[in-house]
Structure 1
Amino acid sequence: MTLQANAGQLLVHRVASEVAKDCFALATTFRGPGAYARGDQLVRAALSICSNIAEACGRGTIPEFRQFLRYARGSAHELRAQVRIAREYDPARALHCRTLESRTTLVIKLLTRLHDRPPPDR
């Protein structure tokens, strides 16, 4: 039996995709020393979440599915840390960053729930 999961149908993938779009927008506002590098790393972490969820769905077995969800969760923790640093670096964007942190925390919770209760084999 193989795992049948479609990333586009998963709530966590949809939320993570919205977070990634917000990260693109936030990254364009970075100024000062290292602005490009900080923005690039922020976007890479956000895209890694979505990519690992999609790859999890394409793996076919529950153990592999869970492994890639763990990778996605690690990227989400990385993203949350980077957003916190961005908030401290640029207080003018604090509200945007807090919202992004909250949504990233939601992604982490959804990933944990999906990891613990994967879709059934078909």
Structure 2
Amino acid sequence: MVLYADPRRLRVSAVAEEVANGCAELAKTFRGPGAFARGDQLVRASLSIVSNIAEACGRGTVPDFRRFLLHARGSTQEVLAQLRLVKPTTEEDRRLVRSLQSRTVLVLKMLNRLYGHPPPDR
């Protein structure tokens, strides 16, 4: 059975892209020792979510699809951990971090749902 999935048609992919863009914006505000490394890790983890969802869609079977969703889920957990470590200095940054945290939790829930209910085989 061959799985056909298009990441452009999956809502989780769109939300993950928003999270990745928000993380890139947030990383620009990091200051102090280790700022570049922390920002780079946050951005790389958030991009990994999007990349793994896309790669899952490019796989031909449901087991492969699910395996890459698990990779995306791991990266999502990493982003949540990184966001918990951020200490915003302005109210605008605080709002951005809270928004990113809630959207990242949404991605996690959507990935869990998609894992349990993958697109149909064709």
Where does structure 1 lack aligned partners over 5 or more consecutive residues?
A: none
Higher helix share: 1
CA distance in 2, matches of 1:8, 1:29: 30
Q: Which residue of 2 aligns with 1:73?
A: 73
Counterparts of 2:8 and 2:80, CA distance in 1: 23
**How far apart, CA to CA, are the structure 2 residues paired with 1:35 and 1:52?**
26
- Distance in 1 of aligned mates of 2:16 and 2:3: 21
Deviation for aligned residue 1:95 = 1.9
Instruction: Name 1:90's counterpart in structure 2.
Output: 88
Structure 1: how far apart are the matches of 2:36 and 2:89? 18
The C-alpha deviation readout for 1:25-64, integer Å capped at 9, x for no partner, is 0000100110100000000000000000000001110000
**Matched residue, 2:37:** 37
Matched, 1:4 2:4: yes
Q: Percent identity?
A: 60
Is the partner of 1:49 in helix, strand or coil?
helix
3-state SS, counterpart of residue 70 of structure 1: helix
Give yes or no for the alignment of 1:110 onto 2:107: no
C-alpha displacement of 1:96? 1.2
CA RMSD of aligned residues (A): 0.8
Deviation, structure 1 residue 2? 0.5
Number of residue pairs aligned between Structure 1 and Structure 2: 120
**Amino acid in structure 2 at the alignment position of 1:57:** C
One-letter identity of the residue aligned with 2:111: L
- Listed one character per residue, the Cα deviations across residues 61-97 of structure 1 (whole Å, up to 9, x for unaligned) are 00000000010001001001101101xx334222211
The one-letter code of the counterpart of 2:28 is: T
2:101 is equivalent to residue 101 of structure 1? yes
- 1: CA distance between counterparts of 2:6 and 2:95? 33
Alignment gaps of 5+ in structure 2: none
Alignment partners' CA distance in 1, 2:49 and 2:43: 10
